[in-house]
Amino acid sequence: MNKFVKGSNKLTKAWAFYDWANSVYPLVISTAVFPIYYSSITSSFANNNGDISFFGIFWNPTSLYDYTLSLSFLIVAFCSPLLSAIADYTGNKLKFMKFFCLLGSLSVMCLFFFNGPETLWVALTFTILASIGFWGSLVFYNAYLPEIAFPDQQDEVSAKGFIYGYAGSVLLLVFSLVMVQKPEWFGILDPSLAPRITFLLVGIWWFGFAQITYRRLPNDIYNRKPEKDYIWKGVRELRLVLRELKNLPQLRYFLISFFLFSVGVQTIVLMAGIFGSKELGLPTTNLILTIILVQIVAIFGAYLFSKLSKKIGNIKSLKLSLVVWGVVCFSCYSLDINQPNVDYYFYGLGILLGFVLGATQTIGRSTYSKLLPQTHDNATYFSFYDVTEKIAIVLGMFIFGILISLTGSMQYSVLSLVAFFALSFLVLSKVKITDFIK
């Protein structure tokens, strides 16, 4: 058994490596290959209005996908606070993290079986379960940050995780792109089989590389000895943290701001591929290349903003990123399929988006970690961070889906997100400066 040494290079690298393992899910499954594959398959059996039948009801396929993801986020938002409180009480964060990782990776592999209208239920069911697995594991993973790194390390360690994640996911996505575009190089005769094999590879990658993290992370650093009625004790743990939150105004302001900008950030990340495909008519290859470019730029964004935060502080760094997000949204609203060189404008916005994506995710996680009080209940506190993000995604996807249904276009859906970035900027101004958060 490895000795636990807070702040050690081996420990922080092992923690960050889980980003390498799991980031293939949000890139390949949530953002790139699966949404485009889903769009292609559902288009093949849609009616003349572009709708598909599910449970006897006709749905816009994009809206149905939105609602499916939203349901998964609601389930995570409902379950994670209680599960996190139980994990804190029993000292079993690592076991919970392993369970959700296994659920997510196996569910992703099951997407292999989605290939037509008769297996649409497979796509929707395992989309929900894979999402629950991914976001559920992140609650416990993020909760380790204040335990494995000191406050003055957390910006850099958080950035290291996202950098590993962006780099690893790009490697697998590049391989997937080659396989999807040139299936004959791999002896694949059915072109629809290539993206489905990608789903298998994502699950294997995620589960396999997670083992490196598991070898180093401690399971119970506070040596807790839980009593048998740990479920009710977990509920009490949750109520205790809720009472503590009432006396932490800076943390509350940050959570409100985080909620508002997460509505915009996560909705854009989840819908960017479908926006480029449906709204701008960009070919699949171009979309995936744009997504790869976003990930590469995000590596530099995460690194540079972690350094910038040391000079101007976390709050000013986050504010700067929010301004850029607002510009990206308004610019996307202005794009038109008939506009000359619209693809180049989309690529340019992708570069800008990638730069602030790395910044926002890195600084957001480390800022929250720095605002936490000295506590043994890190998983419970981070469950509120996670719940805030999940509810934000539900709201963002709901607004996106409703506006698509009402207007028949994604343009106004994108424009609506500008308001959330603006409100987040205003609320973030209420977070007071401290030694670590300027």
Ranges 101-115, 205-219, 351-365: which has the least confidence:
351-365
Q: Is the pLDDT of residue 240 over 50?
A: yes
* pLDDT exceeds cutoff 60 at 224: no
Does pLDDT of 123 surpass 90? yes
Q: What is the pLDDT of residue 25?
A: 95
Stretch 310-314: mean pLDDT: 87
Convert the pLDDT of each residue in 331-367 to its tens digit: 888 887 777 877 888 888 888 888 888 889 889 988 9
Secondary structure class of 8 (helix, strand, coil): coil
**Average pLDDT value for residue range 272-287:** 74
pLDDT (tens digit, 9 = 90+) per residue, 50-93?
889 888 888 888 888 878 888 888 888 878 777 777 776 666 78
159, pLDDT greater than 60: yes
Q: How far apart are CA 133 and CA 106, in angstroms?
A: 9
Please tell me which residue, 233 or 404, carries the higher pLDDT value: 404
Shortest CA distance to 159 belongs to which of 273, 167, 270?
Answer: 167
Residues 128 and 394: beta-carbon distance below 8 Å: no
Residue 188 pLDDT more than 50?
Answer: yes
Radius of gyration over every alpha carbon of the chain, rounded to an integer in angstroms? 21
Query: Mean pLDDT over residues 11-33, rounded?
Result: 90
Given this model, what pLDDT does residue 229 score?
55
Which is nearest to 137 in space by CA: 21, 265, 258? 21
Does the pLDDT at position 228 exceed 60? Answer: no
pLDDT band at 378 (very low <50, low <70, confident <90, very high): confident
Residue 339, pLDDT score: 78
User: Residue 52: what pLDDT?
Assistant: 92
Mean pLDDT of the chain: 85
Residue 1 is predicted with a pLDDT of 45
51-65, 160-174, 266-280, 322-336: lowest mean pLDDT where? 266-280
102: CB partners within 8 A, 6+ apart: 133, 207
Residues 6 or more apart from 433 whose CB is under 8 A from it? 313, 315
> Which residues have C-beta within 8 Å of that of residue 71, sequence separation ≥ 6?
128
Do residues 327 and 321 make contact, with C-beta atoms less than 8 angstroms apart?
A: no
Domains by residue range for the chain, with CATH: 9-220+227-428 (1.20.1250.20)
User: Would you state the pLDDT for residue 167?
Assistant: 92
Half-sphere exposure of 423 (CA within 13 A, CB side): 15
High-pLDDT (> 70) share of the chain, %:
92
Q: What span, in angstroms and rounded, lies between the C-alpha atoms of 428 and 371?
A: 13
- pTM summary value: 0.80
State the average pLDDT over residues 272-276: 74
Angstrom distance (rounded) from CA 84 to CA 237: 9
Residue 289's pLDDT is what?
Answer: 78
